[in-house]
Amino acid sequence: MIDFQHVTKKYTTNDKTITAVNDVNLVVQRGEIFGVIGFSGAGKSTLIRCVNLLERPTEGKILVNQKDLLTLSQKELRDVRRKIGMIFQHFNLLESKTVFHNVGFPLSLAGVPKQEIKRKVESLLEFVGLADKANHYPEQLSGGQKQRVGIARALATDPEILLCDEATSALDPQTTSSILDLLRKVREEYHITILMITHEMQVIKEICDKVAVMENGKVIEEGTIFDVFSNP
């Protein structure tokens, strides 16, 4: 589903070059929950940002559904982007819009008719357990509720891949568990592949099928949770 082949990303600022991601090879299978764990600065966000093309790798290839992201036409790129949803540590909701309009926003942008948006948003809010919050504004919600809105918005365009960037790092342990339960339900009901980055070991252990450990831009371990975290 996502195939990283020798992916390297270098940043150059003020004549200094740093290699944020260094020759990473990973395969994320369809339907997997795949976790990338590492300390701050390890290169995790850079790696995930290369998947939705917020960054472009300096070297190497990323295939999504066998398609090389770096050689797509503008139209193909738009199609692939629509298949990739993303959620964030700080939720990134639009504060001036209600929950309903936050979730419907990607659909409005895509020109989906109002009636269809209404149907879709209502069913997504039902799914994430916020049917009664449609007319609330983000500031009226708890952190966990905001992330539920983030998840509903990410699902609005029927993505095949959900990228999670430290999605539970701003939440307390109990809220984290409830969001992880919801992500499990997302995988089951929508058959979505989930790629998450986190610095929280507990999150990886609780939900991921596979894990890669990153350090200084490199993947230093990879395998099932059992492989990586049980000492021989």
End-to-end Cα separation, the chain, in angstroms: 31
**For ligand ADP, which residue of 134, 170, 177, 225 counts as binding (CB under 6 A)?**
134
Among residues 111 and 232, whose Cβ is nearest to ligand ADP? 111
Do 28 and 34 contact (CB within 8 A), yes or no? yes
Among residues 133 and 187, whose Cβ is nearest to ligand ADP? 133
CA-nearest of 151, 172, 4 to 85 is 151
Size of site (CB under 6 A) for ligand ADP: 18
Rule CB under 6 A: say whether 56 interacts with ligand ADP: no
Rule CB under 6 A: say whether 145 interacts with ligand ADP: no
Closest distance between ligand ADP and the C-beta of residue 115, in Å? 7
Rule CB under 6 A: say whether 53 interacts with ligand ADP: no
DSSP secondary structure, 117-181, as one string: HHHHHHHHHHHHT-GGGTT--GGGS-HHHHHHHHHHHHHTT--SEEEEESTTTTS-HHHHHHHHH
Query: What's the CA gap between 60 and 4, in Å, rounded?
Result: 8
Closest distance between ligand ADP and the C-beta of residue 21, in Å? 7
Rule CB under 6 A: say whether 29 interacts with ligand ADP: no
Rule CB under 6 A: say whether 44 interacts with ligand ADP: yes
| CA count, 13 A, side-chain hemisphere, 187 | 20
CA-nearest of 157, 159, 156 to 194 is 159
Among residues 67 and 136, whose Cβ is nearest to ligand ADP? 136
Rule CB under 6 A: say whether 140 interacts with ligand ADP: no
Interface ranges with ligand ADP (CB under 6 A): 11, 13, 18, 20, 38, 40-46, 100, 114, 118, 122, 134-135
